[in-house]
Amino acid sequence: SRHASDVWAIHGDAVRPLGGGFRLAVRGDALWERITSASLGDHGRGQISVAVLPGWRCGAWELTVGGAVEGFSDDRPAWLPAAGVAWTPVEGHRVFASYSESVRQPSYTEYNYNNPTSLGNQGLVRQQTRTTELGWRGSWGHTAGGVTAFAECGRNVVDWARLQAADTFYRAINLNTVDSYGLTADAM
């Protein structure tokens, strides 16, 4: 399996204070990918995303509500809401909660791979994920760190599976739902 892959991307973002504790954050991304492959075929697709996240700060509280629109050259657009709230009870410590959604198109390998142990699937649909986080970040002395609990619900999650016990190969499939829960912690 020999492939040549080119990916072109551009990103820009800005945050503008609007007065009265209000601000506007805007982010834009554009991506074009092209693959040339004897086994996967020759393909190209583009994606563009614009996120608008207005926010408001009042004392120790900060609220952000907005989202992104993603457009694809070979799929329908997606509206991806996002929201977050943060509380800074004392300087250097922040408690936060957030919600966001994302989508991911299957890779060309997941679509087209074909060898004796794996088989791609042209019928795959894009993966959708909803993520909720609750956490704390802080610093004390020369140490900084945090703890974040998360819950993630994925629909149409792309994975490789053997569909029958007797199968000798893996097939790319969309799983109905995959729920993940966890806790992360770090200190530096």
Distance CA 122, CA 108 (A): 9
Output the six-digit token pair for 81.
Answer: 């809401």
* pLDDT value for 51: 97
* pLDDT value for 56: 97
* pLDDT value for 90: 94
Average pLDDT, 10 consecutive residues per value, the chain (188 residues): 90 96 97 91 95 96 97 96 97 96 94 90 96 96 95 97 90 96 96
* pLDDT value for 100: 98
* pLDDT value for 35: 93
Cα separation values, 82 from 102, 132, 144, 173, Å: 10, 10, 26, 28
pTM over cut 0.85: yes
* pLDDT value for 165: 87
Helix (H, G, I), strand (E, B) or coil at 112: helix
* pLDDT value for 114: 87
Q: pLDDT tens digits, residue range 118-166? A: 999 999 999 999 999 999 999 988 999 999 999 999 999 999 999 888 8
